[in-house]
Amino acid sequence: MKPNETFPISAISPKVAHEFYDSIRGKTFNKTKVIVSSHNYQLTPSIEDLGNLVARIQATGADIVKIATTALDITDVARMFQIMVHSQVPFIGLVMGDRGLISRILSAKFGGYLTFGTLESGVVSAPGQPTLKDLLYLYNLRQLAPDTKVFGIIGKPVGHSKSPILFNEVFKSIGLNGVYLFLLVDDLANFLRTYSSTDFVGFSVTIPHKETALKCCDEVDPVAKSIGAVNCIVRRPTDGKLIGYNTDYVGAITAIENGLRGKHNGSSTTISPLAGKLFVVIGAGGAGKALAYGAKAKGARVVIANRTYDHARKLAYAIGGDALALADLDNYHPEDGMILANTTSIGMQPKVDETPVSKHALKYYSLVFDAVYTPKITRLLKEAEESGATIVTGLEMFMGQAYGQYENFTGLPAPKELFRKIMENY
């Protein structure tokens, strides 16, 4: 341990801690720093109260001020960042909980003195603490600086997403000064209002915010407007306005078309293999709208199946299709060789035993697609393959929509081979 160096004891194991103490026993350090900390396990106080707390801690003679609070909403972290960036003393500011994760990563951008991580996943000294491995290698913490641009995936839940793995690795590989985060968001409009700096460049949007995102953008791409859902938001650097896009439909429809062409010996034609097919979409949310719009545009006959029939009927009317209650889907088989696309979260981790349709009904489908990609092979896809259908995983849609998002974020062509290479390693 060097003079002026602090050591986050909560980031090390008891064994390592004992070894550390043994190594310094009997030694003195002329410039030892004193950290005085305050923990609030209920909430994150107001800016004024946080400022007063900093002053009180300074008055104790502390060399370094540490404040840890609790995030009831991700916007609570913005108050900690504001205190951090204006602090006149070395300052450690952490907001605990999954909604506060960004405080532990972006402290490196906003001038925090240090952050904390754990050696083992799940073995934490405070709620929401990331591993040291993720801090260093997923988020590239050593390279974060005041001019680092912030990207992320907005959702609820969001921890299952592979987007941070993909985008952070791509950013690192091409030398882009950016970091891509998990953003557990309850109120999308409030989040976008709070993090309005042009340093917050772009966001992927997932369940359940895709339709709300349409209303939160200042401008919306015509295709996204037609679909009625946005899965990508970019903040324009010149005026800070939010521009909404939808890249879901291209990623999913292309993956399904490739699956159908593969089934027909790779035959290539300008006419989509979806033309004339009966295309059943499970779900009437943002992803369901994208799939329905894309399939209809390719000449398919579209049927929407949804738990709430009125939502299915509304979407079916909008795209010129038919509607069905999800409960009736097991007995719906007007013809053989149909296409099935699940756009709901049914079957996603941790509820991997769930499926939106019974196995006996899958024999009427020639291809089954599942937007869920955690796990890669869902129960729906496993049973569809056993029933003789071609299957297309959500990972294919994920990759396809990610290409479009990357191009919207950066204005550069997507390095598709690099994207695929990264995902093959996970």
For the domain that residue 213 is a member of, what is the CATH number?
A: 3.40.50.10860
Q: Please check whether residues 172 and 103 belong to one and the same domain.
A: no
Mean pLDDT, range 36-46, rounded to an integer: 96
- The last residue of one of the domains, among 122, 145, 168, is 145
State residue 7's pLDDT score.
41
Are both 99 and 27 inside the same structural domain? yes
pLDDT class of 302 with cuts at 50, 70, 90: very high
Are 352 and 424 within one domain? no
For residues 226 and 258, membership in a common domain is answered with: no
136 and 153 share one domain:
no
Give pLDDT, residue 196.
96
* Sheet of 91-96, strand order: 35-39, 64-70, 91-96
How many distinct structural domains can be found in the chain? 3
CATH number for the domain harbouring residue 362: 3.40.50.720
pTM for this entry: 0.84
Q: What is the CATH number of the domain that holds 124?
A: 3.20.20.70
Considering 130, 145, 160, which residue would you say is the last residue of a domain? 145
Select from 145, 169, 184 the last residue of a domain: 145
Whether 96 and 188 map to the same domain: the answer is no
Asked whether residue 221 falls in the same domain as residue 316, the answer is no
pLDDT tens digits along 76-86: 999 999 999 99
pLDDT of residue 1: 36
Q: Are residues 283 and 319 in the same domain?
A: yes
**Per-residue pLDDT reduced to its tens digit, 183-225:** 999 999 999 999 999 999 999 999 899 999 999 999 999 999 9
pLDDT in tens, 227-284: 999 999 999 999 999 999 999 999 999 999 999 998 544 445 579 999 999 999 999 9
Judge if 16 and 81 occupy the same domain: yes
Quick one: pLDDT at residue 279?
A: 98
**Do 388 and 406 share a structural domain?**
no
Evaluate if residue 301 carries a pLDDT over 90.
yes
My answer on whether 165 and 212 are in the same domain is yes
Rounded CA-CA distance 47/62 in Å is: 21
Same domain flag for 161 and 37: no
Catalytic residues: 39, 66, 210, 248
Average pLDDT value for the chain: 91
Residue 58 clears pLDDT 90, i.e. is over it: yes
User: What is the span of the domain harbouring residue 58?
Assistant: 1-145
